[in-house]
Amino acid sequence: MQITLNGQAHTLPAALSIAELLAQLGLTGKRVAVERNQEIVPRSAHASTVLAEGDHVEVVHAIGGG
């Protein structure tokens, strides 16, 4: 299954949940925020939100800035 992850094409082995995607990326428990098709996916919904073909997913974190 193809999604766009942080602007790049990304192949998933199956229809994963957000929580599973984060686990696959090694980001479980990290301070990140997730947006799916321009809608925030709250942390409490990561496990129940299943990705679909063509989804646009953004995973962001905090970095240094002024």
Partner 1 sequence: MTAQPFDKPLTLAGREYQSRLLIGTGKYKDLEETRVAIEASGAEIVTVAVRRTNIGQNPNEPNLLDVISPDKYTILPNTAGCFDAVEAVRTCRLARELLDGHDLVKLEVLADQKTLFPNVVETLKAAEELIKDGFKVMVYTSDDPIIARQLAQMGCVAVMPLAGLIGSGLGICNPYNLQIILEEATVPVLVDAGVGTASDAAIAMELGCEAVLMNSAIAHAQHPVLMAEAMKHAIIAGRQAFLAGRMPRKLYAQASSPLDGLIR
Residues engaged in binding partner 1 (CB under 8 A) = 5-8, 10, 25-27, 30-35, 38, 40, 42-43, 58-66
SS3 category, 28: coil
In the complex with partner 1, the residue whose CB is nearer, 28 or 54, is 28
Measured from the CB atom, the residue of 23 and 50 that comes closer to partner 1 is 23
Q: To the nearest whole angstrom, how small is the minimum distance from the Cβ of residue 15 to partner 1? A: 19
What SS3 state is found at 35?
strand
Decide: 57 and 9 in contact? Cβ < 8 Å: no
The residue with tokens 């193809």 is: 2
CB of 55 to partner 1, least distance (A): 15
